[in-house]
Structure 1
Amino acid sequence: MLPVTRTAEGGVELDGDGEVVEWVLRMAAVPPGDFLDAVAAAGGLDGARLDALADAVFALHDALPPAAPLGEFDAVREGNRRAALAAGLPAGRIAAWDAALAARLAALAPVLAARQAAGRVRRCHGDLHLGNLLLWQGRVCPFDALEFDEALATIDTGYDLAFLLMDLEYRLGRAAANRVLNRYVARSGDAGLVAGLPAWLSLRAIIRAHVAGARGRGEEALAYLARAEAYLAPPPPRLVAVGGLQGTGKSRLARALAPALGAAPGALVLRSDEIRKRQAGVPPEQRLPPAAYTPAANEAVFAELTAQAAAVIGAGHAVVADAVFGRPSERAALEGAAGGAPFTGFWLTAPRAVLEARIAARRGDASDADAAVLAATAAREMGESTWHGLDATEDPLPAARAALERGC
């Protein structure tokens, strides 16, 4: 902030010594290449930066107090229907989209009411796409929040996030959107947001569709419309588990499988290491002392993982569960969480020397396991497993994908 001050001659100057008559804001210059849409176009959104992006959105939402909703989704739906028609989008397709969205929103009403009661409705950013995020002093920063309409910005945090997920999927593909979704849920614990994603993603896509149509970009408008339609017809959920000793590459395999599974933007990865860190109130990469790994703490981690898996599957979204699953009771409980959805369990193995080398090479990971933890786990009786065994000495991804394609 700089003062506009009165000069001795009666004029005004910036930041002088005279009487302050007004204040102005000096804006900081941001290089055009530092806006995240430009960073994405240049191939600069790697895994670490996508995690930082999710962390920035989590921090934004986490700092906001709960708010009473000022608008209803039916009004948002109607406004976008009219805008889509005014932009020249095909009337028949818009009518079908509107009917499908109305039906989904009606079914979703109890879930949205419960989320509101839980404090998930807040005065959010409201326009959270890549063009409204930038790099500032090395950090990902949101800016230019929606200010002209309180009702449009007082929304569920999941709906706020959905604009970013839709934008990432459109620009970079599902893997990028899936990574941001999973990092956000790992930080927030808000696995329940997946219930709203088909409707929220569809609304965000139709907004982009009619904006593109109004600007004469017909091909782009139809591409967004196709996405808006597809989001409302998600594939059924399934539960995939990835177990094995520390260092077998469970998390790498889980992250690689997730984007292709289930509804957009892919399966929710529930990782026991990340749940443990969240329960302890620390970021995923912050190490915990051995005292944090008590039997009671372990039970709490697996109770949350199993409960979240059941809830997410019940909401119609796919899950990849990532943990050692060294006890028969843990494997049985997770299989039960699938309900009537298809279940596939993978068990990864590799020679001890390979596992020890991988653990020693880890940096910035949510796992706190070291060679001693590996030895203790390997010495434990794990019981007989019926899960598909995969040799993780090399990349097990092709074999895992083949098994899923066979319907295993």
Structure 2
Amino acid sequence: MDIFKALMNKEAYDNTPRHVKVIQTHISWVFLTGKYAYKVKKPVNFGFLDFTTLRKRAYYCRREFEINRMFSPELYISVLPIVKEAGGRVKINGNGKLIEYCIKMKEIEQSKILARIIKNKGISKSILNKIINILVNYYAVAEAGKNIDKYGSVSIIRYNWEENFEQTKSFVGIAIEKKDFELIKKEVYKFISHNKQLLRERVREGKIKWCHGDLHSANIFVDKGKVYIFDAIEFNRRFACSDIACDIAFFIMDLEFRGLYKEASYFLNKFIKATNDNKLAKLINFYKCYRAYVRGKVTSFKLYDNHIGKKEKGLAKITAAKYFDLAKRYAMNM
């Protein structure tokens, strides 16, 4: 059954939309119907995630729904079955043989994505305050405990960095200069070595949570003054679980990458005040360095993707170099 082709048919939906559009990534399809969006996981296995069976896709649909509903309950509506009816038609939430699952969400125009809003007119303190409020409320009830704490351990933090450096060796001399690669490496390991006590204190103080994991402006909608945070990671504990400092560092780094240094400083200071987490400031450049480096790495992966054209690869190389340069600047100020 070609689920993609089936869900491009308007008759697959309850509300019989006028049109169906699709946005896709390497791991999912999102079918846009005007009023609602329906997200379907692709049957793929990339090592760091495995959606190859219907049972796994069902589990991760529910898990994604549970986590993201804590951020944006008005955006995430339900997890629904997709069935093949007796006559052969595919229907969401119909009667027939179960063939797939989807997450039903409120559809919001792509122009309302915060990254696009920032590009056009920046970001207001009001929106920053609303983002802080959502995050503070989420972290207060986010999953935590012994099974989560290990992701804030010195050994896991070091492993995450070792993986980064191993996975970017082939980009040295292409997207990152060798001297910058070595400088970042040296400063990162020095910081970890000199701050083991601080990192352990963060674990003892309960700062390691199941976080958003992918907190940047392209994963935030702003619609009529209302903020919706979405697309939190559900498929990999090591990617999602971290010190909350590492989570907000992603958003702060993203603001600074876009040149919004004053706004980034405002966000950090307000967040620290709201949480009374003064130790966070000692870690923020370390975690901003991590987030910038990972973005540089992921963007660099496009350089070896045969499905991407020459022009897009050229842009990816420039963007990756900018992220690596930002990581270097953070490394020099940890």
Fold match, TM over 0.5?
A: yes
Q: 2:183 aligns with which of 86, 91, 96?
A: 96
How far does the alpha carbon of each residue in 1:147-200 deviate from its partner, in whole angstroms, 9 at most, with x for none?
Answer: 332112110001111010111111132101011112211211112101111211
Shift in Å, 1:133: 1.5
Could you give the per-residue CA deviations for residues 325-369 of structure 1, whole angstroms, max 9, x where no partner exists?
A: xxxxxxxxxxxxxxxxxxxxxxxxxxxxxxxxxxxxxxxxxxxxx
How far, CA to CA, are the matches of 2:327 and 2:86 in structure 1?
62
Taking the aligned partners of 1:76 and 1:91, their CA distance within structure 2 comes to 20
Which residue matches 1:38? 116
TM-score by length of structure 2 reads 0.63
Whether 2:224 is the aligned partner of 1:125: answer: no
> Over residues 64-86 of structure 1, what are the superposed CA-to-partner deviations in whole Å (9 max), with x where a residue is unaligned?
13233344111111111122222
Secondary structure at the residue paired with 2:228?
A: strand
Q: Residues of 2 paired with 1:11 and 1:31: CA distance? A: 29
Separation (CA, whole Å) in 1 of partners of 2:294 and 2:286: 12
CA distance in 2, matches of 1:220, 1:11: 44
Distance 1:148 1:128 in 2: 15
Give the Cα–Cα distance (whole angstroms) in 2 for the partners of residues 120 and 193 of structure 1.
10
In structure 1, the residue matched to 2:11 is none
Go from structure 1 to structure 2 and tell me whether the alpha carbon gap of 1:139 and 1:211 turns closer, same or farther (over 3 Å shift). same
| Cα distance in 2 between the residues matched to 1:10 and 1:224 | 49
How far residue 212 of structure 1 moved from its aligned partner, in angstroms, is 3.0
Where 2:105 maps in the other structure, the secondary structure is coil
Distance 2:216 2:133 in 1: 15
Q: Decide which moves more: 134-143 or 191-200.
A: 134-143
Partner residue in 2 for 1:374: none
- Counterpart of 2:283, as a letter, is G
Q: Which residue of 2 aligns with 1:80?
A: 164
Tell me: CA distance 1:161–1:6, structure 2 relative to 1, closer, same or farther (3 Å): closer
Contact 1:85 1:91 in 2 (8 A): no
- Where in structure 2 are the equivalents of 1:205-224 lying within 5 Å? 205-215=292-302, 216=313, 217-224=316-323
The higher radius of gyration belongs to: 1
Alignment of 1:144 with 2:231, yes or no, is yes
Q: Is the 8 A contact 1:54 1:181 kept in 2?
A: no
Quote the offset at 1:132 in angstroms: 1.4
The correspondence for 2:324, drawn from 218, 225, 230, is 225
Match of 1:130, as an amino acid?
S
Alpha-carbon distance in 1 for matches of 2:277, 2:259: 24
1:69 maps to which of 132, 149, 159: 149
What is the CA distance between 1:30 and its match in structure 2?
A: 1.9
Please name the residue that 1:239 is paired with.
none
Q: Residue 133 of structure 2 aligns with which residue? A: 55
| Distance of 1:223 and 1:201 partners within structure 2 | 14
Q: Distance in 2 between matches of 1:218 and 1:134?
A: 27
In the alignment, which residue of structure 2 is the partner of 1:182? 269
Q: Residue 222 of structure 1: SS of its match in structure 2?
A: helix
What is the aligned partner in structure 1 of residue 19 from structure 2?
none
- The answer to whether the 8 Å contact 2:288/2:330 transfers is yes
Q: Distance in 1 between matches of 2:320 and 2:268?
A: 25
Q: Which residue of 1 aligns with 2:256?
A: 169
* TM-score normalised per structure 1: 0.52
- What code does the residue aligned with 1:199 have? F
Unmatched runs of 5 consecutive residues or more in structure 1: 235-262, 264-408
Inter-partner Cα distance in structure 2 for 1:95 and 1:38 = 34
| Partner AA of 1:226 in structure 2 | D
Percent identical pairs in the alignment equals 22
1:233-382 alignment runs, 5 A limit: 233-234=332-333
